Each structure stands twice: as C-alpha cells, then as structure tokens.
C-alpha cells in the first residue's frame, strides 16, 4: 500500500507518519496490545493537494507568505477548499481497504478515531503538537472520509497559522 500503514504491519517513519503515527507502530512492534487501525501517511495529503482539481489553488495558497491580516481569510478559504475537494480515487481505495480491515478485526459496530499527527510536530526547535484536531466516534466510511478532510483542514485553524507566524515559518506547506 502506498498511502496507508497498518499498525501491525508497518515500519515507523516519523517524517512520513508523524510522531503519533510512528510511535503507535513502534508500540505495536514491541508487542504491546494495540487496537486495530492504520495511519494515513503524509504522501496521501500531498497527493490530495497535488492531484486534485484544485491543485493550482492549493499551491498558490500554501506558498503564500503569512501575515496576521491574511490569516482569517486564508483559514476560512483553505478549510472550505479542502472540504469541497474530492480525494483521489487511488487514495480512497486504500482508505476503504483499511476501513474494511478495521471493521473485520474490531467488529462491524466499532467506532474509530481520526487523529492528527503532523510531520512537523515535536522537533527540537518547534512543536506543532495540539494544533490540528482529532475526530472521535466515527462509524461509517462516510464518517471516516469527512473526518480525514476535517483533520486535514484543521491544520489551517487561526491558532495554527498564528503559531507559524510567531515561529517565523514562511508559507504554510504542512503535512499531516
């Protein structure tokens, strides 16, 4: 699989899976009892941005130099654009595979969480932890897709963008 990594089958790569994603796979590899699940890697988000019908708009928006005046407008616009953009079919198919495996292992009535794990979290000089949101109690495949988009769009909350300005980060090229 190109875009998802199952907890029980993966290799820990923080730059691709984010801190939380990489660490849960490490725990699974250590033999700890981890519930079934998978990580949607950062390439899925990058592919979503690059291959969508709105790729040019994403590119222009995400390379914009941030200023406090631009934050509120950009936040609203980027969030809406992400939510209204279709996820490429090859990514959808992998997510569906992960969803079906989860339901088979955890039970058809089981709910799951969509947690953020930004690839820029918890570095030596910069902590993005807590800036993006998590979505709990998802049951259906439709819930999953909506929560993924909401999680991706939460990277662009006013507080997250203000934090990037404070840390002198240029542009808003983030991965989750």
What is the tens place of the pLDDT at every residue in 94-150? 999 999 999 999 999 999 999 877 665 555 665 555 567 788 999 999 999 999 999
Could you state, in order of their start, the residue ranges of all structural domains in the chain?
A: 4-166
The model carries a pTM of 0.85
CATH architecture of 4-166: 2-Layer Sandwich (3.30)
119, 16 in Cβ contact below 8 A?
yes
Question: Are 70 and 36 spatial neighbours (Cβ–Cβ below 8 Å)?
Answer: no
CA–CA distance, 64 with 14 (Å, rounded to integer): 26
Residue 144 burial (CB count, 10 A):
20
- 28: nearest Cα among 55, 14, 7: 7
Residue 114 CA to residue 138 CA, distance in Å, equals: 8
């Amino acid at each position: 699989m190109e875009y998802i990594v199952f907890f029980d089958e993966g290799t820990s790569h923080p730059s691709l899976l984010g801190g939380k994603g990489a660490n849960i796979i490490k725990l699974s590899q250590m033999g700890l009892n981890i519930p079934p699940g998978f990580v949607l890697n950062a390439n899925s988000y990058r592919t979503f941005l690059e291959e969508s019908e709105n790729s040019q708009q994403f590119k222009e928006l995400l390379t914009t130099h941030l200023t406090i005046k631009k934050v509120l407008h950009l936040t609203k616009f980027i969030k809406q654009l992400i939510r209204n953009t279709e996820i490429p079919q090859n990514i959808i198919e992998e997510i569906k595979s992960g969803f079906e495996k989860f339901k088979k292992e955890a039970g058809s009535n089981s709910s799951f969480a969509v947690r953020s794990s930004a690839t820029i979290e918890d570095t030596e000089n910069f902590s993005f932890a807590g800036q993006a949101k998590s979505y709990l109690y998802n049951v259906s495949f439709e819930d999953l897709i909506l929560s993924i988009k909401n999680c991706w769009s939460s990277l662009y909350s006013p507080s997250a963008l203000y934090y990037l300005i404070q840390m002198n980060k240029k542009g808003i090229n983030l991965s989750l």
